[in-house]
Amino acid sequence: MTMTVVSHQWLLEHLEDPEVVIVDCRFSLADPQQGKQLYQINHIKTAYYLDLNEDLSSPVEKHGGRHPLPNPKKLADKLANMGVNFQKTLVVAYDDSRLAFAARLWWLLRYLGHEQVAVLDGGFSEWQKAGYPVTDVIPESKKGDFVPQIQAQMMVDREVVINRKDLPNVVLVDSRESDRYQGIREQIDKIAGHISGAVNYPWQEVTDSTGYLLSSSEQHRRWSKLDNAEEVIVYCGSGVTACVNLLSLELANIHTGKLYAGSWSDWISYLDSR
């Protein structure tokens, strides 16, 4: 089954489905331990946990941004230990942050060549609000078979951005809030502003305030100016929330999106000599 989004009702009906693996991706940039702690208190029944810093990223280095892509084999091994079988098991990712972290896992799985991945519309709070089952029981490890097939064309680095961002059929998209894009406010990175030539599509516009995705037609309307672009390079602060925009492009039936994985934090690492 190839699905991009699943509803709470659908997931409720597939909680015990051996072909479905649920992954809790809750995380807080302000408090990196919070997501794991919340998971241990309660989570959707049968869900495993993957941590943004420990599982969905590599250690930070001088360049590469604040959340470098994880080692593919390490992530593949973790997925296999959850019982994920490559290109067979449907992985359903959820968080409580309007898909900020669930979309990172969604994109990473597709980057590893595993297209059987979806996000949970509405996230954890709405699941709880509906009275659906939660638990503090940590599921046991299982044995899956996951051998990644890297889709290198889905990702670009700084050199590609430099060489392609000003071409007439390429659009560079900054996914951060407009005040960070404009350089009015910057509380995370050492330098404010955006990459020259980038247009701003804040990632929060992909969902409503409660975390439900806008309809496919609304997603398409959102990207209507980019319909004719041959390539859409998307970035954010560190390559995480940009994935929400890449999900939005997919829902809009636009398949030209690529992730600048290092994003703004990588870009400025070459400018910042402090």
Angle between helices 102-111 and 242-251 (to 10 degrees): 70
DSSP 55: T
Torsion of CA 233, 91, 105, 116, to 10 degrees: -20
**Separation CA 174–CA 194 (nearest Å):** 7
Residue type, 30: A
Q: Confirm if 95 and 102 have CB atoms less than 8 A apart.
A: yes
Q: Confirm if 43 and 24 have CB atoms less than 8 A apart.
A: yes
Retrieve residue 272's tokens.
């910042």
Measured at the CA of 122, the angle between CA 121 and CA 124, to 5 degrees, comes to: 110
Which is the catalytic residue, given 232, 236, 261, 268?
A: 236
Retrieve residue 57's tokens.
């990223």
Annotated active-site residue 236? The verdict is yes
Q: Which of 18, 88, 14, 84 is nearest to 44 (CA)?
A: 14
Retrieve residue 220's tokens.
């398409």
Kind and range of the H or E element at 274? Answer: none
**Separation CA 233–CA 256 (nearest Å):** 8
DSSP 137: P
**Separation CA 101–CA 213 (nearest Å):** 14
Residue type, 157: D
Catalytic residues: 236
